């Protein structure tokens, strides 16, 4: 059995893709709740360090590490880097929360989606989530939590998202199996499924295209597109003590898209 955190020890979250968008928002929301953060980026080192500085300004500790979630061969070395960061910054061997957030978008019809695009999405969204979680599992405390990011597109279908949504459907199924198998260690596993959010995802389509933004607002019950903090706050809430009995669930954070 993995040791539980020391009484009074700070909680630590590891967030993939934490340099921007939903990952950044989740990192800052968790820091506001008193959680320290290890965040990853694949290339946006300046953005990652800026988030570290913002977290430190809130009185919490943070570390940024490089990780390409689409390259599973690098996961053993990444786990060692996490161990080193835990020892150097927290004098700890384990962390508490894993947020599998990193990802990329693709808008292409079923007929036009290439095998290379399919493999890229598979490696990042499904294979990456599966094997990174497996590799980091020995470093997660008993009683910890895992949040996997999915998408509203697993509930409603929109042309051009077949490959992306299929990967996220796999993540949702994986979430339930992880909840079942990790329950003996007291680890809860849930899915957060955002709707259309104003970020640079898919080239900033929802944020920067007024027509797309208006379309999203039109079929969302709350009458607007989502903002990063709408999702970041939801992630922090699911990881909060008040939601400790929530497990194996898909929680859609979409403002009521297509209800």
Contact 97, 143 (CB under 8 A): no
Catalytic residue (one of 75, 90, 95, 164): 164
Secondary structure, 3-state, 198-234: CCCHHHHHHHHCHHHHHHHHHCECCCCCECHHHHHHH
Helices (H) and strands (E) in the chain, counts: 9, 7
Kindly give the interhelix angle for 75-85 and 128-136, rounded to the nearest 10 degrees. Answer: 40
Q: Nearest to residue 162, comparing CAs of 209, 216, 105? A: 105
Secondary structure, 3-state, 4-22: CCCCCCCEEEEECCCCCHH
Strands of 22-169 (E only): list them: 35-41, 62-66, 95-100, 140-149
Q: Is-catalytic flag, 177?
A: no
- CB neighbourhood size of 147 (10 A): 24
Q: Which residues are catalytic?
A: 164
């Amino acid at each position: 059995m993995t040791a539980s955190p020391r009484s009074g020890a700070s909680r630590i979250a590891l967030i993939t893709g934490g340099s921007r968008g939903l990952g950044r928002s989740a990192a800052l929301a968790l820091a506001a709740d008193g959680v320290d953060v290890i965040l990853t980026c694949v290339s946006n080192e300046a953005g990652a360090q800026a988030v570290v500085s913002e977290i430190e300004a809130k009185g919490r500790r943070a570390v940024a590490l490089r990780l390409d979630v689409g390259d599973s061969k690098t996961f053993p070395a990444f786990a060692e880097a996490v161990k080193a960061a835990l020892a150097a910054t927290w004098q700890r061997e384990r962390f508490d929360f894993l947020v599998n957030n990193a990802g990329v978008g693709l808008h292409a019809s079923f007929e036009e989606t290439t095998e290379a695009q399919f493999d890229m999405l598979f490696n990042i969204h499904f294979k990456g989530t599966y094997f990174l979680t497996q590799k980091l599992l020995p470093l997660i405390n008993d009683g910890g939590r895992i949040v996997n990011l999915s998408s509203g597109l697993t509930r409603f279908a929109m042309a051009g998202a077949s490959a992306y949504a299929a990967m996220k459907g796999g993540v949702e199924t994986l979430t339930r199996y992880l909840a079942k198998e990790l329950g003996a260690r007291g680890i809860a596993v849930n899915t957060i499924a955002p709707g259309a959010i104003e970020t640079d995802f898919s080239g900033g389509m929802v944020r920067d295209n007024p027509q797309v933004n208006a379309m999203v607002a039109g079929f969302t019950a709350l009458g607007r597109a989502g903002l990063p903090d709408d999702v970041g706050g939801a992630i922090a809430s699911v990881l909060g003590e008040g939601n400790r009995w929530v497990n194996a669930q898909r929680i859609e954070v979409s403002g009521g898209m297509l209800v």
